[in-house]
Structures are given as C-alpha cells and as structure tokens.
Structure 1
C-alpha cells in the first residue's frame, strides 16, 4: 500500500517542533512517505490582522501549490495531512482545491481555517489559545461532526507553561493522533 503524509507547519511553528515532530514519527511508523511543505518567507505581524493573515495564506498557498505539483496524489492509497495553525487552512484548502480526499490532523486551527475544513479529520485546540476563540472552534467542529479534543488552559502551541503537564498533554495528543492515523490507515483495506 502506497501512503503519503504532508506536513503543513505554522508560522514560526516548524516541522521540528513537538506536535509536528512526534506526529511525523507516528506516520513514519505506519509506512507513510513524509513531505514537509515550505512556505518560504511569510510576512510578520499577522496575528490579529486579517488582511496580513490572508496575504500570508495566499502567498503560502501559491508556494505549496508549486512545491506539491510534482506529487501524483492519485497514485497513493492513503493521503494524510498533518497541519498546525495557518497550515490547517492551507491543508484544508489544498485538499479541497485538488479534490484529494486526505485524512487530516488539525493542530490549533485558526478560525479562518473553517472556511475550507471539510468533514474529515480531528481537531486539537487549547482553551488558552489567543489565536482562536474556543466557542468558534467548538461550534465549527460540531457543524462538521469532526472530533474536537480540547485541552484546558493550553495555548496556541498546546502548552500551559508547566513542563511536566505539557509533556502529559503532548502524550495525550499523540495517543489520539495515533488512534486517528491507525483508523484512517485501515479504512477500506
């Protein structure tokens, strides 16, 4: 079975940070080829500025469209997108535009991501995330019937500032991530 996972990082949250680092290790164990999207240099100061965020999104989408154009997603039995923050909007949009039908693990989506997020995948959000309102994330996930895993007091990096608690949180997130990846990978086999 031919499988590929594409990692869509956040702005300042690259593929070697904990959420994406550990989820990459998990998909690797399940036999996925791994590709990390690269957005190039994006504008700074996008937080709270819808116009700048959209400009960053458009710039990144153009860059990854070129970068991923050489991949024949139709030749893969399983396609999985792992995404963080603005990467969630990019992963969902790229999937919708190209009609890939990927599985999705969305780490801390920004509210605008739900303009493209469909009904496949799982979402992780911290109630202390100042990039997205918890009530919006809850409502949007309910509309789509997407499983949502909330972590009390966790910020946009899914951290609380208490190191040992943060490690527990990471373990819980990775257990749920692996459960989803296993279930997605075994579908229709």
Structure 2
C-alpha cells in the first residue's frame, strides 16, 4: 500500500484505517473468507487511495454457528458490528462524500441498511458478488442505484433478477465464480480484475 495503514479498534471490532488526509471516505466490508488481502479488495483499496479517499476496512469475524440464523438476522449482525465504526469515523471529520464497498457477506449491511436511509453525507455503493438469491436483498435493491459486479458462474447469479435492476451500473462477467475469477484461467482472471477496476474508476469519477 502507498499509504501505511493504522490498525485500530472501536467497540471491540478491529479496523484498518488509511489516512489520505481527505474529505472523502470509503468504507469496506469483506466477505466471509474473502479478506482484504484478496485481489478484488486489495486493488479496490489501492484504487480508492489513488482516487483520493480515506479508506476504512472493517475487520469483523464471526463464528460458524452465527451463520445458522435467518438471512435478515445475519445481515443485522454484520451491520451491528460495522456501523459503530462507520458512525465513529464519520464523526471525526467533515466528510463530503462516502463510498461503501462490500464483497458477498459484506454487501448485506449495504443493501439492507445503508442504501435504505437518507445519509447526511452523499453516498455511493459498490456491490461485489451480492447475494441476489436472497429475496429480502432483491426487495431492498429495487429502485436503488449502485455499481454491481457478479459472474454467471456465481451461485447467486440470476439473469431474471438482474434484469429488474435497470438503474444499476452492472458488470456481468461470463463464467466468473463467486470470487469473480474464472476457474483454471489465471491470466483471464487477472485481466478480469483489471477490467472491473477500470469500470469502477469510471463509475466513481
């Protein structure tokens, strides 16, 4: 990373903070096993710093039995872990813009909470492999706007559901899995990541 991270903790949840001395902030919520060292989130972090944002990576962890709850309860669990950090960071500066980036599990607090309320800070949303197979997620996405990326080999992919999201900036990748990679095609997966970051840059500028 070009800017050294600070490892912090708030409300007993650790987070990584990249201080770019900016008036714009990006909050990042990882997947269950897709951490910030994985390609999409690592390079998304680099991109947000390059675009001049402060970056906050929320580092929640959950026990396997906590995922035995109903989907709405799991979403609330992730939100309740992440939101105290979000509110704290927003209270530390007069931010003029916020971007929320989520991967898989990390898209749930975005779709179910942050996209549903009017924020005092103008906000945009990036959903990487959201859980479109969950009915409540689709209900919360209808009529909203965001950048959404998903592969056709992702178990949560649904052509019919994506057709309902006409207000979204959609990136649909043929044969890409839930990691937005193409199995046994390493070079193609790297190129895919580059293409996705280019599209995300266009969306954010």
Q: How does 1:37-56 map to 2 (within 5 A)?
A: 37-43=58-64, 46=67, 51-56=69-74
Q: 2:106 aligns with which of 87, 100, 121?
A: 87
Q: How does 1:104-183 map to 2 (within 5 A)?
A: 104-111=125-132, 112=134, 113-117=137-141, 119-130=144-155, 132-142=156-166, 145-161=167-183, 162-182=185-205
8 Å CA contact 1:9–1:87 kept in 2: the answer is yes
Q: 2:118 aligns with which of 77, 87, 99?
A: 99
**Structure 2: runs of 5+ lacking an equivalent:** 1-21
8 Å CA contact 1:125–1:150 kept in 2: the answer is yes
8 Å CA contact 1:5–1:82 kept in 2: the answer is yes
Task: Report the CA distance shift for 1:137/1:159 in structure 2 as closer, same or farther (over 3 A).
Answer: farther
Q: TM-score, normalised by structure 1?
A: 0.82
8 Å CA contact 2:126–2:146 kept in 1: the answer is yes
SS at match of 2:177: coil
Could you report, residue by residue, the CA deviation over 1:80-134 in whole angstroms, capped at 9, with x for unpaired residues?
A: 111111211212334245522411111111023334336232110100001x132
The root-mean-square deviation of aligned C-alpha atoms, in Å, is 2.3
Task: Report the CA distance shift for 1:44/1:137 in structure 2 as closer, same or farther (over 3 A).
Answer: farther
**Structure 1: runs of 5+ lacking an equivalent:** 183-189
User: Which residue of 2 is the match for residue 62 of structure 1?
Assistant: 80
Output the CA distance in 2 between the equivalents of 1:88 and 1:15. Answer: 14
Q: TM-score, normalised by structure 2?
A: 0.76
Q: Looking at secondary structure, tell me which structure has more helix per residue.
A: 1
SS at match of 2:60: coil
